[in-house]
Amino acid sequence: MNPTSSKPARRAFTLIELLVVIAIIAILASLLLPTLARARDKGKSAKCQSNLRQLGIAALMYDEDHQVYPIGWPPSELLALSTPPIWYRQLQPYLGRNTNVSGQGVFICPSSLQKARPEERLGNALREGGFWGFLAYAQNVHVNGGRKDIGSRHVQDVPGTLLYADTDGWDACLYADGQGTANVCYRHSGGNEKSADTDRGVAGPKRPKGRANAVFVDTHVELLRKAPLRLFTLERD
């Protein structure tokens, strides 16, 4: 008697069975990947909201110390300075850095992925940081855009006036939807760096508007579908 005859024969998968397993894995992947992508986007959006809240609190502290908000864009007499005072420098001491540092850190949204400019020598790589690489938010142009005397005392609609919001990083100031310079960037929930009304030359295909994070004067943060002018003006409307 053959001593190996009592061993059970090994059964291999048939081609049909393998194809069925592969098909099931493909179906599960197609169901899970969008869910994982949404979870990743929500995580980045939450980090963005935390950044904006920190900027809002820093602006509140700056206003308490100086009785005015930081400068959105310097008036002409200050532009001649070697390092003009501007909000993304003026807020740095309230975030643990010096005023000669431009943006970076909490000034950058983790979803602000753009193709690097040629002079950055990064090839075709995508990197965070908006168009210039150090800024992905902007300050409401109605708050010291070309001037330096607007403070919280001028804001009549505190919970309804925004201070900072998502942009593609080209401008220091933020402009409302519908204007020729509209630049609120709806990069979250399906949008990207080209989902603002105005195209600033960001590389890549334009996508539909998603949502934009914004922090208001009272430091609460909202995820916006649109940014009309009434959110920018300081008057109650």
Please state the φ and ψ torsions of residue 103, each to the nearest 5 degrees.
Answer: 60, -140
- Region of 87 (left: φ > 0; alpha: ψ -120 to 50; beta: rest) is alpha
Q: Which two tokens stand for residue 40?
A: 């990743």
pLDDT of 139 higher than 70: yes
pLDDT single digits (tens) 51-95: 999 999 999 999 999 999 999 999 999 988 888 999 999 999 999
- Show the DSSP H helices in 103-235 as ranges: none
Q: Is 149 exposed, middle or buried (CB count within 10 Å of its CB: 0-12, 13-18, 19+)? A: exposed
Task: Identify whether the C-beta of residue 178 lies closer than 8 Å to the C-beta of residue 196.
Answer: no
The C-alpha atoms of residue 147 and residue 124 are separated, in whole angstroms, by: 39
Q: Is 164 exposed, middle or buried (CB count within 10 Å of its CB: 0-12, 13-18, 19+)? A: buried
Burial code (b: 16+ CB inside 10 Å, e: under 16) for 13-31 equals eeeeeeeeeeeeeeeeeee
Q: How confident is the model at residue 212 (pLDDT cuts 50, 70, 90)?
A: very high
Q: What is the pLDDT of residue 177?
A: 96
Q: Which two tokens stand for residue 228?
A: 């009309």
Provide the whole-model pTM: 0.82
